[in-house]
Chain A
Amino acid sequence: MKLLILLVIVVGIIAVAQLAKIYQLSARLRGHREEEISEADTRLQGSLWIVFMFVLFGTTIWQFVRYGDYLPPSASLHGEAVDTLMGYNLALVIFVFFVVNALIFGFSYKYRYNKNRKAHFFPHDTRLEVIWTVIPSIVLAVIIIYGLQTWSEMTGQASDDSLRVELYSKQFDWTARYAGDNDEFGSTNFNLITPLNPLGIVTQEGIDQALLKIEDKIAKLNGELSVEKGHLLAEKVELERSLHPSDDHGHSDHDDAHHEMSEGYKNNLETRLSAIDDLLDSGTSKVMTDAAYEAKEDKIYRLKRHRQRILELKNYEVGEALDAWEIGKDDRIVKSEFHLPIGREIEFVFRSRDVLHSAFMPHFRAQMNTVPGLPTRFKIETTITTDSMRTILDNPDFNYILLCNKVCGSAHFNMQMTIVVETQEKYDAWLSEQKVYMAEKN
């Protein structure tokens, strides 16, 4: 490896030396000044513009032929409108790209320097300037109006009978949630997230579980703090001082106080002292840095705050004597693959646990960021089942996909979920097999 680096350095030095030689040579050979562009150079550089133009246009056309069908046909209703809009816009953009670039490169060739000619003095022309202010304005007005029409259609309110699916993001996976038989999502709270309740659905059981978890953590931390060697030793010294003050101080002022100590209290202190001695002898005591000790104390403080936030949650009634904390019990939670029925409007509700993510479903022309603390929405209407798309593409392995499109950490590029679009019957059958949130635990 070192040899290779050496080689690179040597080659580099040779290259620089050669460049210097060329540099000197080209200056001397031409025998005239750098700023004077020779006729040969003018001809060559002018022609290169034309060559470049053909190469650029040629490869552009080639890319359109080869990669122009960039995605399969849209699998959502609004996506068809988006694709049409994209088609018109791309056509316009490509047209202007060809025309304007041809003018730039063509003029650079055609009007290349000729010492016998003087340029045409043409400082301004109001008519021309008005033309190329007005024409782009009109074209843009059309683009804006057409674009905003599509935009307002695709972002309008979802209808009441649309199917709502929640997509929940965290580093680095997705979870989908479907409402249960009551057709409503249970409310959620990030304070209630536990391994068994990954979405933080609010139920009495969920609350109990989260509280239990916090108590466990606090107890464990307190346990760790209680066997810290430095603190134990300090306490031991303190206890011994209380029990035998004269040993330490050497003067007898405190003796009276010592005698006044009740037997019960003294026993307590002695019990504690021997407990400390046992801990120190048994080797369960651990040494901790001050910083680590404080961090643990801090953590306990935060856990207590966390517990407090949970205790402040209040239940409320949601019509017909239904508890808010009951609704979520039958929610269905799905990982790694979720299904959608064909031909239905689906309103996605997006939530995030930790950082920004973005739910990107390229085949449905759909994308929406997921924001912690702020649920976002996007509606689509499915039009092509997974099976039909496989037939269309002649690819039995094809799958619709949900991916993360907002950088969210080291495994960002691998945060995906498969989407299956199928008939209502199949979808119903699939859904009934999915895990019901509370049933899972009971």
Chain B
Amino acid sequence: MGNINHKESFVSKYIFTYDHKMISKQFLITAIVMGILGVSMSILFRLQLGWPGESFAILETFLGKWAPGGVLDRNAYLALVTIHGTIMVFFVLTAGLSGTFSNLLIPLQIGARDMASGFLNMLSYWFFVISCVVMVFSLFVEGGAASGGWTIYPPLSALPQAMPGSGMGMTLWLLSMTLFVVSSLLGSLNYIVTIINLRTKGLSMTRLPLTIWAFFVTAILGVLSFPVLVSAIVLLLMDRMMGTAFYLSDIFIGGEALDATGGSPILYQHLFWFLGHPEVYIVLLPALGISSEVIATNSRKPIFGYKAMVGSIIAIGFLSFIVWAHHMFVTGMNPFLGSVFVFTTLLIAIPSAVKAFNYITTLWRGNIRLTPAMLFSIGLVSTFVTGGLTGIILADSALDVTVHDTYFVVGHFHIVMGLSAIFGMFAGVYHWFSKMFGRMMNTKMGYVHFWFTIVCGYGVFFPMHFVGLAGAPRRYYDSTSFDFLDSVADLQPIISTFAIVGALAQLVFLFNFFYSIFRGQPATQNPWKSNTLEWTTPVEHIHGNWPGALPEVHRWAYDYSNPAHDEDFVLQTTPLKDGEVGH
């Protein structure tokens, strides 16, 4: 095929590009912008939660009528909580993580010239952009953005008269999410087809790097679960606009008995969580895949138990489809049904435990290079374990009753899904930055960024478990009127302080990231001495990835410190030596 690099216009190179490497960068930078927005929102409501009722003049300056007198308005608070959740879960950790790294790594690590369909790939990105724009725009419509929590349970979300945020803002939220699902489906289908069809010669499924396995299962989860969210959204839109009653029954609101009878608000929850729970793993699996790669490379050791790791990814993916109702133990559903979901949910702990122990064994007797990416990956293993453990308590229906919808839940999922996934994302950025931009990021700043992030991450979310155990409900604008919460009231300002410091520490990352794009040290071809195929491509991006013929693979991705070789890494393209047993 040869070098098919050719001159391109600015528009076709940087905007409507078909090239997976450029699209991956587009996803990353869009996600960073959305991330800044999402984190800023959390700081705004953390100010209110840490120091309830206190006036911050700066709030009024920036937010105007959302913060009269410098105190966040209660409706604005709910809107911020809702949009923070939506942005972080979907725009940053789903599109940002999968969109960036699936796009970058799938063709590069399987030895393909590009995605199966560059055009779908471009569409996927632009649907994502439109969806972001609509979501941000919804902040400025009358009544404000959607405010019923990121799960937007009806009837609250179905009835415009129920709260200001259930008007135009909610309609736009639904529109934005529909566009988002289109983007996600286009992307996922492309990833699946590419991985199945475009692997280079010699790269069997059992030789795939774990990153690719993770992206593969993630894409399958997305394809199977996101359409269900769309159905839920369509039914909700019809309830809102066409007088149907899928989710509504026996409602008297605004001095009026509504016509709707026979619907069930619980139906929505079943549909929503049928996506919602796999979504957790759509967020988490790519992060686990990235950390597998980073940990093996930087421990200079093969990932321990490759087959068990692949099996765990598949098992987690499968189980994630049959656990959704553990979000609904207190909705009044049949207790026996609850028991079934307790059982399936706790089963997930088994493959998760296998993964955690395999990571730890990979570290054991390794020769660990503590790069920023490696620090974040080790941090991920820690938060994955810590957050996973509190999941055991929430999965136990009898215990869930006491902590359901409290800060305990907030602490749990922010550690296991928020911190773990964002750590995986940071690890990926530090590790593959040179592959994206041809330059290196500054290591020292990476260290500073990491230690502030993990300390503040634990500092924000660990104390929340105690706040939750004491019975503090989440999404409360102000809990000071409850005497029984006085015992944990002093934790709230501590949490907010950590949140502010942690957010400011991200500025170090932002600086490092954007400065390095232009001024970073020029990268070498294989800086981390890694085995996988992406490091055999030239530093300068070319269309088609490899200047000559596609590489041929002779071994698995994890021949680190193989005693049969002198170097502590062996590229996948290295042919087997005489007598060497391949994988």
Contact for B265 among A49, A124, A353, A356, CB less than 8 A: A356
Q: Looking at the assembled complex, report how far the CB atom of B478 sits from the nearest CB atom of chain A, in whole angstroms.
A: 6
A420, CB-defined interface residue at 8 Å: no
Contact present for B399 and A27 (CB under 8 Å): no
Contact present for A70 and B349 (CB under 8 Å): no
Q: List 12 A-B contacts (CB under 8 A).
A: A104-B363, A108-B363, A119-B367, A120-B366, A151-B335, A353-B251, A356-B156, A358-B330, A369-B331, A398-B483, A413-B473, A413-B477
B265 — which chain A residues lie within 8 A by C-beta? Answer: 356, 371-374
Enumerate B366-421 residues with CB–CB distance to A below 8 Å.
366-371, 375, 378, 381-382, 385-386, 389-390, 392-393, 396-399, 401-402, 404-406
Contact present for B386 and A101 (CB under 8 Å): yes
Q: Looking at the assembled complex, report how far the CB atom of A291 sits from the nearest CB atom of chain B, in whole angstroms.
A: 16
Q: In the complex, A111→B342 CA distance in Å?
A: 39
Q: In the complex, A378→B402 CA distance in Å?
A: 13
A292, CB-defined interface residue at 8 Å: no
A253 — which chain B residues lie within 8 A by C-beta? Answer: none
Contact present for A377 and B401 (CB under 8 Å): no
Contact present for A171 and B162 (CB under 8 Å): yes
Contact present for B353 and A132 (CB under 8 Å): yes
Q: In the complex, A374→B155 CA distance in Å?
A: 13
Q: Mark B562-574, 1 if CB is under 8 A from A, else 0.
A: 1100001000000
Q: Give B300's nearest chain A residue, CB to CB.
A: A119
B4, CB-defined interface residue at 8 Å: no
A34 — which chain B residues lie within 8 A by C-beta? Answer: 440-443, 520-521, 527
Q: Mark B440-466, 1 if CB is under 8 A from A, else 0.
A: 111111010001001100100011001
Contact present for A403 and B57 (CB under 8 Å): no
Q: Give A56's nearest chain B residue, CB to CB.
A: B458
B204, CB-defined interface residue at 8 Å: no
Contact present for A82 and B402 (CB under 8 Å): yes
Contact present for B527 and A104 (CB under 8 Å): no
Contacts between chains A and B (CB distance < 8 A), count: 392
Q: Mark A68-101, 1 if CB is under 8 A from B, else 0.
A: 1011100000010110011001101100110011
Contacts A105-B378, A152-B339, A397-B483 aside, 17 further interface pairs with beta carbons under 8 A come to A1-B57, A60-B462, A67-B463, A67-B491, A68-B466, A70-B469, A70-B488, A71-B469, A71-B484, A82-B398, A96-B385, A121-B302, A132-B354, A362-B470, A362-B471, A366-B401, A372-B155
Contact for B473 among A117, A118, A305, A403, CB less than 8 A: A403
Q: Mark A331-344, 1 if CB is under 8 A from B, else 0.
A: 00000000000000
Contact present for B368 and A111 (CB under 8 Å): yes
Q: Looking at the assembled complex, report how far the CB atom of B279 sits from the nearest CB atom of chain A, in whole angstroms.
A: 19
Contacts A19-B508, A63-B462, A122-B302 given; does A147 touch B482 at CB 8 Å: no
A313, CB-defined interface residue at 8 Å: no
Binding-face segment, B32-40, B180-188, B254-262, B542-550:
B254-262
Contact present for A129 and B305 (CB under 8 Å): yes
Contact present for B477 and A412 (CB under 8 Å): yes
Q: Mark A281-324, 1 if CB is under 8 A from B, else 0.
A: 00000000000000000000010011001000000000000000
Binding-face segment, A39-47, A158-166, A176-184, A239-247:
A39-47
Enumerate B301-327 residues with CB–CB distance to A below 8 Å.
301-308
Contact present for A121 and B249 (CB under 8 Å): no
Q: Looking at the assembled complex, report how far the CB atom of B103 sits from the nearest CB atom of chain A, in whole angstroms.
A: 24
A212 — which chain B residues lie within 8 A by C-beta? Answer: none
Contact present for B393 and A118 (CB under 8 Å): no
Contact present for B259 and A305 (CB under 8 Å): yes
Q: Looking at the assembled complex, report how far the CB atom of B315 sits from the nearest CB atom of chain A, in whole angstroms.
A: 10
Contact for A111 among B306, B363, B484, CB less than 8 A: B363
Size bin of chain A's contact surface:
35 or more
B360, CB-defined interface residue at 8 Å: yes
Q: Give B260's nearest chain A residue, CB to CB.
A: A373
B479, CB-defined interface residue at 8 Å: yes
Contact present for A104 and B354 (CB under 8 Å): no
Binding-face segment, A137-145, A224-232, A261-269, A433-441:
A137-145
B74 — which chain A residues lie within 8 A by C-beta? Answer: 410-411, 413
Contacts A82-B398, A155-B335 given; does A413 touch B155 at CB 8 Å: no
Contact present for B342 and A124 (CB under 8 Å): no
Q: Looking at the assembled complex, report how far the CB atom of A295 sits from the nearest CB atom of chain B, in whole angstroms.
A: 13
A430, CB-defined interface residue at 8 Å: no
Q: In the complex, A19→B483 CA distance in Å?
A: 46
Contact present for A113 and B561 (CB under 8 Å): no
Question: Which residue of A16, A81, A103, A112 has the most chain B CB atoms within 10 A of its CB atom?
Answer: A103
Contact present for A190 and B257 (CB under 8 Å): yes
Residues of B in contact, count (CB < 8 Å): 137
Q: Give B568's nearest chain A residue, CB to CB.
A: A118
A427 — which chain B residues lie within 8 A by C-beta? Answer: none
A19 — which chain B residues lie within 8 A by C-beta? Answer: 445, 508, 511, 515
A442, CB-defined interface residue at 8 Å: no
Contact present for A104 and B382 (CB under 8 Å): yes
Leading 4 A-B pairs by shortest Cβ distance: A373-B249, A362-B471, A376-B332, A155-B335
A405 — which chain B residues lie within 8 A by C-beta? Answer: 404-406, 473
Contact present for B481 and A373 (CB under 8 Å): no
Contact present for A353 and B253 (CB under 8 Å): yes
Q: Mark B336-359, 1 if CB is under 8 A from A, else 0.
A: 001100110011011001101111
Q: In the complex, A416→B479 CA distance in Å?
A: 11
B560, CB-defined interface residue at 8 Å: yes
B358 — which chain A residues lie within 8 A by C-beta? Answer: 129
Contact present for A113 and B302 (CB under 8 Å): no
Q: In the complex, A1→B154 CA distance in Å?
A: 41
Q: In the complex, A150→B401 CA distance in Å?
A: 12
A369 — which chain B residues lie within 8 A by C-beta? Answer: 330-332
Contact present for B381 and A104 (CB under 8 Å): yes
Contact present for B393 and A367 (CB under 8 Å): no
Contact for B370 among A42, A373, A414, CB less than 8 A: A42
B155 — which chain A residues lie within 8 A by C-beta? Answer: 354-356, 372
Contact for B401 among A82, A136, A409, CB less than 8 A: A82
Contact present for A409 and B397 (CB under 8 Å): no
Contact for A124 among B61, B266, B307, B399, CB less than 8 A: B307
B463 — which chain A residues lie within 8 A by C-beta? Answer: 63, 67
Contact present for B301 and A373 (CB under 8 Å): no
Contact present for A354 and B253 (CB under 8 Å): yes
B193, CB-defined interface residue at 8 Å: no
A52, CB-defined interface residue at 8 Å: yes
Q: In the complex, A171→B469 CA distance in Å?
A: 26
